[in-house]
Amino acid sequence: MQPLQNDRYLRALLRQPVDITPVWMMRQAGRYLPEYKATRAEAGDFMSLCKNAELACEVTLQPLRRFDLDAAILFSDILTIPDAMGLGLYFETGEGPKFERPLTCMADIKKLPVLDPEVELGYVMNAVRTVRKNLNGTVPLIGFSGSPWTLATYMIEGGSSKAFTKIKKMAFSEPQALHLLLDKLADSVILYLNAQIAAGAQSVMVFDTWGGVLSGRDYQEFSLQYMHKIVDSLTRENDGRKVPVTLFTKNAGLWLESIAATGCDAVGLDWTVDMADAKARIGDKVALQGNMDPSMLYAPAARIEQEVQLILDGFGKGNGHVFNLGHGIHLDVPPDNAKVFIDAVHKLSKPFHQ
């Protein structure tokens, strides 16, 4: 086992003592960095960048050269699994991801394979191995996947959606078809994340971007039960070290207790949740990750620092807080503002760990 020079992110997820609150950002390797834009141009397009291990490694490491971050997150996409299942992923400029062959019925779903991650998604594992080697024990590497529900929304809607009418129509008129899809996706996510862990990911995260569009009852049935299945089947120790798992559902403030009860190590919070409230509700069971509004990074430095202080105050003294944004960093945020944020977390959190 390669010793980690900075393991405070992993320690915080396991609610162990740290010297300062660790911080990383969702989408920290991305379009707000000019060096990322240059590498993406070199790759030709987004998926070519994901599939080139050396370039995916380069963009994973770029934010670590600029900022004092406590973790690297693999540069990839949540839609790698549906792409590998043969749905024809492509990206329209300004419109986000789309699928050429969206799923419409039970027959489509029955044809879908459960993937062998080292075969159909071998490029992701190559990227994990390359990044882990190049990190050289500086900070831990986070692997990730989309949640079954979130992946299913793209696969049925054919892309992004505002009302999610197609997937909800299937949920309420053909629930057995949707459950078959979600079960297949859960099995694929388990294999995919365990392969990332075997390749070198030291922590994993499940992104449930669209769970919050469901009612509480439907969230339990169509989203959370499948994330629970994933948590139950993940490799939780590798290389002589625990592998923490974080679940993040956007707009899930009403259901924090249910998420914490899955057996995950940490719950990601978006910015609509009050940190003190979340700590009171579930902070003695799991670590909390979050949760500054990404738009706060447009503010002047003093306002960014004030917001960091308020969130630290909300969590209070004690272990189990990983500071992050409440969702991904926006593409037009000045990198200098991200630096103000990251440095403020480290500077202002010291008194909370003495």
Q: Is 27 marked as a binding-site residue?
A: yes
**Residue 19 annotated as binding site:** no
Catalytic residue among 32, 36, 154, 219: 154
> In what helix (H) or strand (E) does residue 156 lie, and over which residues does it extend?
helix 148-157
Q: Is 40 a catalytic residue?
A: yes
209 has binding-site annotation = yes
* Selected catalytic residue, list 8, 11, 15, 27: 27
Phi and psi angles of residue 236, each rounded to the nearest 5 degrees, phi first: -105, 0
Two tokens at 277? 């409230």
- The C-alpha atoms of residue 158 and residue 170 are separated, in whole angstroms, by 14
| Residue at 262: amino acid letter | T
Point out the catalytic residue in the list 66, 77, 241, 277: 77
- 154 known ligand binder: yes
In sequence order, the 6+-apart residues with CB closer than 8 A to the CB of 329 are 25, 26, 27, 28, 30, 32, 294, 297, 338
Alpha-carbon distance of 119 to 125, in angstroms, equals: 10
User: Quick check: is 192 catalytic?
Assistant: no
Active site residue 101: no
Please say if 27 is a catalytic residue. Answer: yes
Catalytic one of 40, 66, 129, 236: 40
Q: Any known ligand binding at 77?
A: yes
28 annotated as a binding-site residue: yes
Task: Identify whether the C-beta of residue 224 lies closer than 8 Å to the C-beta of residue 258.
Answer: yes
Is 129 annotated to bind ligand? no
Is residue 31 flagged as an active site residue?
Answer: yes
DSSP assigned state of 3: P
31 annotated among ligand-binding-site residues: yes
**Is 29 assigned to a binding site?**
yes
Instruction: Cite the active site residues.
Output: 27, 31, 40, 77, 154
Show binding-site residues. Answer: 27-31, 77, 154, 209, 327
Show binding-site residues for substrate. Answer: 27-31, 77, 154, 209, 327
